[in-house]
Amino acid sequence: MDWVESWRGKIGLSDIGLLERLSIGSDGDPIMTSSSSTGRVSKPLPGPTPNPGSVLTVRRTIGELNIEEEMTKLGIYKEESPSVGDLRAILDEYDEAPKPPQGSPSTEPIAEGWLREALRIAVRRFGVMALPVDVIVETIHGRHDLDDELVEGWLETQYQLGKLVKIYGGTREGFGPSPIWLDAV
C-alpha cells in the first residue's frame, strides 16, 4: 500500500480518488491498514502462538527409509494387479452369469456381464484401474460364446462404444472400465 501511495504522489493523484482495502478479516475489519502511508498496523493471527518445539524431529540417513514398511504401518497397501487365478476363483463362486447394464446395446451380453464383473472386482477389491488384455481374455475364457481370437477385437469395440478406457503400459496394453458403464444399473 505504501508503494501505491508513493506512486500516487509522484504522478499527482494524491488528491484524486481513494484506495480501497483488498483484504478483510472474518469480522469485517481490515487485516492490514495504512495510516496515510506512515506505516502498517497488523491484526494478530487467530489461534495459539506457534511453538516449533512441539514438532517432532525425525532424522534418517538418506536412503534408509523403507517406504513399503512405513506405508503398511499407516494402513496403506501397495496395489497389486490380480492374477488370472485370483479373478477366476472369485468369478467361479457366482451361481449365474452377471448381467450387462440395462438400456445399453450389447452384441455379446453374457461376455459383457462377465467382463464388467471382472473389472469391478479388479477395481474394488484389488484397487487397480485396468487389467492387461491377456489377463482379461484368460479371466473370461469359457464364460462366453466368443472365439478366443475374437475377444481382443471385441474389447476394442467395447472401448469404441465408451464402455472401456484404454491403458498403454510399455509393452502391454490394457483396458479399464468407464465409470459410467461400471456403475450403471
Domain boundaries, the chain: 2-42, 84-183
List C-alpha distances in Å: 20 to 1, 5, 6, 24, 28: 10, 12, 16, 11, 13
Best mean pLDDT range from 18-22, 48-52, 76-80, 83-87: 83-87
List C-alpha distances in Å: 1 to 6, 11, 36, 41, 170: 9, 16, 10, 12, 55
Top pLDDT among 129 and 38 is at: 129
The cell numbers describing 129, all together, are 484401474
Q: What is the pLDDT of residues 26-77, one digit of tens each?
A: 566 655 555 444 455 567 777 888 888 888 887 878 888 888 888 888 887 7
84-183 adopts what CATH topology? Arc Repressor Mutant, subunit A (1.10.10)
Separation between Cα atoms, residue 183 and residue 170, nearest integer Å: 29
Q: What is the pLDDT of residues 149-174, one digit of tens each?
A: 788 889 999 999 989 999 887 778 89
- Among candidates 162, 167, 141, which has minimal Cα distance to 175? 167
The pLDDT of residue 37 is 46
Top pLDDT among 30 and 20 is at: 20
Best mean pLDDT range from 27-41, 93-107, 115-129: 115-129
Distance between alpha carbon 182 and the CA centroid of its chain, in Å?
Answer: 17
List C-alpha distances in Å: 118 to 94, 112, 162: 12, 10, 17
List C-alpha distances in Å: 129 to 27, 120, 121, 122: 47, 9, 10, 7
The pLDDT of residue 177 is 93
Share of the chain above pLDDT 90, in %: 22
User: Does residue 8 surpass a pLDDT of 80?
Assistant: yes
